[in-house]
Amino acid sequence: RDRIVVRLVLETLAFAAAAVLGTLVFFLHPLSVAVIALAIASIDGGIFLLMYLWAVPLDAVAFICLAMSIGLSVDYVVHVAHAFEHEEGTPEQRIKAALHGIGWSVLKGGGSTFLGVVALAGADSEIFRTFFKMLFSTVLLGLLAGLVLFPACVIFVGKWITPKLLEKTPAGVAQADAVAKPAGGGGGPP
């Protein structure tokens, strides 16, 4: 029975990770997605380690939390990856600008999630305490992956991740000019 549960958990985590990573390939550079995959694996590995240290059994509650952890934890990393891809310069300059632009928001997102589950820590029910332990682990490890692991990795591989710069087309400029002009043309040349 234990082998069946372990197999079910591992298959579910693998399919969830594949679905997330398969979706990300459409939006991010494949090398960014590879670093995100490393982050997901490290987060899940860390969660399993904390489950062992906290003596959390691999039961239905832990299984649900592990499945949720893929979606929760990848969020922190993806925001930083997306910001990195939209910056110019050396990898060091790009990650610094990305963290300056989005890092505080990612940290506030993790903090608000933590505040949302902290009341479960003192619950009488073991189920709620397990839920807290799992989500606390997910938030903590997700923040570390997004704000420390991903930046450290892209400093080394970021030179192969081309920036996605916002392109300004003549039609886009013309539309912006038309919106800025008052009705009736404003008396100036077209």
Q: How far is CA 171 from CA 27, 168, 182, 190, in A?
A: 24, 8, 19, 14
Which tens digit of pLDDT belongs to each residue from 152-181?
999 999 999 999 876 555 555 544 444 444
Please tell me the predicted confidence (pLDDT) of residue 115: 95
pLDDT of residue 171: 55
The owner of tokens 């990795």 is: 153
Gap between the Cα atoms of 170 and 37, Å rounded:
38
**Distance between first and last Cα of the chain:** 76
How many Å apart are CA 164 and CA 176, to the nearest integer? 21
Average pLDDT over residues 85-105: 96
**Residue tagged 């189920």 (tokens):** 127
| Global confidence as pTM | 0.82
| Res 183 pLDDT > 70 | no
